[in-house]
Structure 1
Amino acid sequence: MMNLLGIVGTNSDHSTNRLLLQFIQKHFADQANIEICEIKDLPAFNKPKGREAPDEVQQLAEKIMEADGVIISTPEYNHSVPAILKSTLEWLSYTTQPLIDKPVMITGASYGKLGSSRAQAHLRQILDAPELKARIMPSSEFLVGYSLQAFDEDGNLKDENKIEELEGIFHDFIHFVEITNQLLGKNHTQKRVQKFSWEDN
């Protein structure tokens, strides 16, 4: 069975993006093993000497490298991703660069009507940077608007149309991961990582 990593893209203790990933984990348990990772306790990015990441960042990087694909769920703060998510990606890009060629699916939930659409667009732009270079699933956008009302007491999405939409996107992502990893070949990422740095240009 496929192994995926879900990253909660916020440091909030009460996040509907965490609920969304937990629902995905439960709803698709027969299709993939999904481990959910928190980033809320990671230190703020501070350029390290020797490009060595703190232990907790290194542990996340290793989980990303071991996973077949990654799902990132982000809220929207001021039309952008949260600072903690940006900081985490800066750690990863400056140190081990585990997201290079890694298949990524983006989801998001927000309290407003748009459901993190602008934050998702921002995240796509970030993940396309040379030091991250993730393989982002194209033509997909799963948005949960008015997210405080979107889940029942058991953490399930209430809207059957939304569930059906998510099932279609997740099905596409499974195929995207399979095709991407077949094209790249096993351990391709680890073999071809180049330590791109703006400092060398």
Structure 2
Amino acid sequence: MKFVGIVGTNSDSSTNRKLLHYMREHFADKAEIEVCEIKSLPAFNEPKDKTPPPAVKALSDKIESADGIIIATPEYDHSITAALKSVIEWLSYTTRPLINKCVMIVGASHGMLGSSRAQAHLRQILDAPELKARIMPSSEFLLGKSLQAFDEKGNLVYLDKVKELEECFDEFLLFVKLTNQLLATEKFNTEQNKKFSWLKTAEEGALS
């Protein structure tokens, strides 16, 4: 399987980046994970022609062709970063590659909670009509005290968290396999959902 791992911050120093790079190496025998940065992407500005900038289109193409997505989100003020929200807005407003795409959410934070509020918020966002991602249910990987979590080689030193991450990742592999099999045999209006428009909905409501 091929996954895209999105670093959910524009920070140059991020333990969420370290977490994704660790996952890429640790699970190399199970899946190929390409770690993608968002720090160079422009802020969302709602272009009238709904055409994404080249860098956003490149990320969208990678998401489209991947078997699944892993998003590593920090927590800023009880939510995801503005940079990650901006990227999601680009994707939802333009190409909509996350529709019916399997997503695993992980997160690291300097405190004890491991981005739990941000992960809950991200789940709500990804369930929006323009996104409709297939989010792995009943599974959270929360890495607290992340500043001390990695050694100089980038290895995760909390052995209990290594085991927990392995279990979560195996669950995600199964979730992706079963979900993609279902999507391949059943019609879920993916293309129709990509054409969803709040403007159209408002116009239909005015006519009724």
TM-score range, shorter chain: over 0.9
Q: How many residues align?
A: 200
Q: Deviations over 1:23-46 (max 9, x none)?
A: 000000000010000001110000
1:45 equivalent in structure 2: 44
How far apart are 1:50 and its partner, in Å? 1.4
Instruction: Quote how far apart the aligned CAs of 1:198 are.
Output: 1.9
Contact 2:129–2:193, Cα closer than 8 Å, also in 1? no
Corresponding residue number in structure 2 for 1:97: 96
Q: Secondary structure at the match of 1:49?
A: coil
What amino acid sits opposite 1:197 in the alignment?
S
Q: Aligned letter for 1:155?
A: G
Q: Return the offset for 1:188.
A: 7.2
Describe the superposition over 1:107-157 as per-residue Cα deviations: whole angstroms up to 9, x where unpaired: 000111101000000000000000000000000100110100111111111
Distance of 2:197 and 2:14 partners within structure 1: 34
1:100–1:189 contact (8 Å) kept in structure 2: no
Paired letter, 2:139: S
Partner of 2:15: 16
Q: Which has the larger radius of gyration?
A: 2
CA deviation vs aligned residue, 1:59-79 (integer Å, no higher than 9, x gap)? 000000000000000000000
Question: Matched residues in 2 for 1:124 and 1:46: separation?
Answer: 23
Helix, strand or coil for the counterpart of 1:88?
helix
Q: Deviations over 1:84-125 (max 9, x none)?
A: 000000000000000000000000001111010000000000
CA positional deviation for 1:193: 3.9
Q: Output the aligned Cα RMSD.
A: 1.4
Gaps of 5+ in 1: none
1:168 matched to 2:167? The reply is yes
Q: What is the DSSP-based 3-state SS (H/G/I as helix, E as strand, rest coil) of the residue aligned with 2:151?
A: coil
CA shift for structure 1 position 49:
1.8
| Cα distance in 2 for residues equivalent to 1:105 and 1:31 | 15
Residue number in structure 1 paired with 2:134 = 135
Runs of 5+ in structure 2 lacking a partner? 203-208
Which residue pairs with 2:199 in the alignment?
199
Alignment of structure 1 residues 107-146 onto 2, 5 Å: 107-146=106-145
What displacement does 1:189 show? 7.5
- Is the 1:101–1:189 contact (alpha carbons within 8 Å) kept by the matching residues of 2? no
Cα contact 1:104–1:135 (8 A) shared by 2:
yes
